[in-house]
Amino acid sequence: MKSRIVVGAHYGLKDWLAQRITAIIMAIYTLVVAVALCSGAAESQESWRALMSNGYMRFITPLFMLSLCYHAWVGVRDIWMDYVKCAALRLTLHSLTVLVLVGYAVWGVQIIWRL
Q: 15-114 sits in which CATH class?
A: mainly alpha
Amino acid found at 84: V
Confidence of residue 8 (pLDDT cuts 50, 70, 90): low
Longest dimension (CA), the chain: 73
Lowest mean pLDDT among 43-52, 61-70, 76-85: 43-52
Q: Residue 53: which of 67, 70, 36, 35 has the closest Cα?
A: 36
Where along the chain do its domains lie? 15-114
Confidence of residue 51 (pLDDT cuts 50, 70, 90): confident
Q: What is the pTM of this model?
A: 0.80
- DSSP codes joined into one string, 53-107: HSHHHHHHHHHHHHHHHHHHHHHHHHHHHHH---HHHHHHHHHHHHHHHHHHHHH
